[in-house]
Structure 1
Amino acid sequence: MTGGIALEGVSKRFGDLQVLTDVNLQVAEGQFGVIVGPSGCGKSTILRMLAGLERPDAGRVLKDGKPVTGPGPDRILIFQEHALYPWRTVAGNVAFGLELAGVRPADRAARVADVLARVGLGGFERYYPHQLSGGMRQRAAIARALVMDPEVLLLDEPYGALDAMTRLTMQNELLRLWQGSGKTMLMVTHDIEEAIYLADRLFVMSPRPGRVLRQIEVELPRPRSRTDARMVRLREEVLGLLQIAA
């Protein structure tokens, strides 16, 4: 499985608004990258370009060293809003992409059952989104992505709408799903502690027009403790970078 992603000298403008300027970042195959930065600095735009939903005005957006020219099943973007179809059951939502891909019903059912068990939703196949908690709906959205077996998962503040305790639980679940999978992750968050807890490689961005202020290799051993003095120091360092740039 391959899945290295990169931006090289990327700039992006929407009308008169310069959103990104000369952005360079790279996440190697199997790494967990996290982007932090102030609102409006282009974090989500970076994910959308890697997903093939936006094109850069300058520079290159790459997957495995090749230009990203459009969406593809090798890269899936998960939003803060789960965007589940309310008229479909959990199993129906998770199976939707497989249906579009023409996967046979028996194979489809087996893959859906497997991924729902992996995300802790075994037994909820026939439930509808409105019957689930916020955390469970987000688990279903992640299952819908994982069932397609993408090489790259792009996560746009997936836990931003969850309460604090559910968010901590979901962070650990995401790490469990990622570790040993070989998948490349790139996540956007406003939560510095969340970023340091999850990341192998952390990108700190400036205010708009966004650029990478610093790339930090987070070399803390896993599993990580949120009270580890090294983690606390790194949090202060990132917070300091963001305050200076503001």
Structure 2
Amino acid sequence: MAGEILDNEGRGEAGWSWPPVHPEGRKYGLIAGVVALFFLLVLDWEIVGWPLLVLTFGVFAFFRDPRRIVPQDPDAIVSPADGLITLIRKVPPPLELQMDDGSGSAGLGTDEVIRISIFMSVFDVHINRAPVSGTLRRLVYIPGKFVNADLDKASEDNERQHLLMEREDGVLVGFTQIAGLVARRIVPFVKPGDMLAAGQRVGLIRFGSRVDIYLPAGTEPAVVLGQKAIAGETVLARIGQTRLIEGIAL
């Protein structure tokens, strides 16, 4: 994943700009805009046209795809999603990620690992990114329900897509895209066998959802409940580091 290098000594250039809209969302924004203009200019129904025009801007904003500055730390596991960290607990990995799938790709095993759950509201960026650099070994789509993605049972009941990455040193990191109440489609940008860089875009979930990430054994979170995570930038953990981190809500 090529990109501009910026560092803590002032190298590179930074500036604010309007974030681009991902191509996946442009068609929805254009459809909403055409319908809004039809009601405003053709039917002269302002009571319907203006709310639809506001909705059009909302659709474009939902599919925004801002640039992210990815930490170049080989031990860092970066957040795969924007959103609020709502759950941190020890659980067994999903069945689809536990065992060898027959392709020679080892799984995460059956022992409990730490799962960090990141809830994305409709106001968050919904482009998901790779948490580490490595090879995508597994991508498994599971149809399911559409209960509130903020609930713990969403990890097992909702429509979801499991991804398993293997770093060059053999460390495995799994994560799961989970659809929510409003979300109705998980869109992948990658396929098994792809070589991915940390922070590289791997897919999106339309309209409100959640992402779970499963930390390797012997690794503790570097974030706390209630913290806001930024995809590709927030370091969720560093492989092999275990220490208590506390936060104070002010």
Q: Compare the two structures and name the one with the higher helix fraction.
A: 1
Same-fold call, TM > 0.5?
no
TM-score, L = length of structure 2: 0.25
TM-score, L = length of structure 1: 0.25
Q: Considering only CA atoms, is the larger Rg found in Structure 1 or Structure 2?
A: 2
